[in-house]
């Protein structure tokens, strides 16, 4: 996957790079990628595909809501692979081979994302409003995403790994979210991750935590 530079995303990234709110700080990042394979992507995607097919061969679950049912669709397998590849590129020093398919959830609409955003980003939105002459952070985010991935054509996924196995969850974290905006036609994806950290946490720093390797990689999925 190729990292894509977009000025509208840079403006929001600068704001969210380390937003100090007193006892708390918010750190966020938006990264856009082309889904065209580069470097080791092809080898990694083939490995992921083989793992999925191996899982399907071993699965005896016949229920329509089972992960095997979803993974029978090649388009669903490709989507999962793109999302995992994006994770590798957002955190290149990390091994995401233990990522489980059920850790990705497809959000129904932009309104679903908006509800989550409004819940967690209220204080950040107020800061943006004051610094940008009354403009809305959510509206500016929507415009930026629309320019990059055309929101009307996007599928929105949230990534929810176990808290003790999340490389993006930093020490002192109070909450975090991680979304992917994926446009199949453009073969482009934007990752938006954000976390709120306590400035009072003992030994507060920005190191990442480790993944556990136990469990099946494709236990369940919502793609």
Q: Which domains does the chain have, with CATH numbers?
A: 2-198 (3.40.1000.50)
For β-strands 2-4 and 188-198, DSSP reports them as unpaired
Contact between 213 and 98 under an 8 Å Cβ cutoff? The reply is yes
Contact 124, 12 (CB under 8 A): no
pTM of the complete model beyond 0.75: yes
Spatial separation of the C-alpha atoms in residues 147 and 52, rounded to whole Å = 33
pLDDT in tens, 165-206: 666 777 778 998 999 999 999 999 999 999 999 988 654 444
How many Cβ atoms from other residues are within 10 Å of residue 156's Cβ?
A: 20
pLDDT above 50 for 157: yes
Alpha helices in 59-181 (DSSP H): 67-71, 74-90, 110-120, 122-131, 137-149
Q: Which one is predicted more confidently, 217 or 29? A: 29
Q: What is the pLDDT of residue 81?
A: 84
pLDDT score at 72: 58
């Amino acid at each position: 996957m190729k990292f894509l530079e977009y000025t509208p995303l840079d403006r929001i990234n600068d704001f969210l790079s380390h937003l100090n709110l007193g006892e708390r700080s918010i750190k966020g990042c938006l990264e856009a990628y082309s889904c065209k394979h580069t470097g080791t992507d092809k080898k990694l995607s083939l490995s992921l595909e083989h793992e999925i097919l191996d899982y399907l061969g071993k699965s005896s679950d016949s229920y329509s809501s089972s992960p095997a049912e979803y993974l029978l669709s090649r388009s669903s397998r490709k989507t999962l692979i793109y999302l995992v590849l994006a994770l590798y590129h957002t955190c290149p020093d990390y091994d995401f081979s233990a990522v489980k398919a059920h850790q990705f959830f497809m959000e129904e609409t932009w309104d679903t994302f908006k509800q989550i955003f409004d819940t967690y980003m209220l204080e950040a939105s107020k800061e943006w409003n004051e610094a940008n002459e009354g403009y809305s952070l959510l509206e500016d985010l929507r415009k930026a995403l629309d320019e990059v991935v055309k929101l009307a054509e996007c599928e929105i996924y949230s990534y929810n790994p176990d808290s003790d196995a999340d490389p993006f969850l930093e020490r002192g974290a109070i909450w975090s979210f991680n979304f992917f905006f994926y446009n199949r036609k453009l073969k482009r994806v934007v990752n938006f991750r954000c976390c709120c950290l306590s400035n009072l946490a003992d030994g507060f720093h920005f190191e990442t935590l480790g993944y556990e390797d136990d469990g099946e990689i494709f236990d369940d999925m919502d793609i």
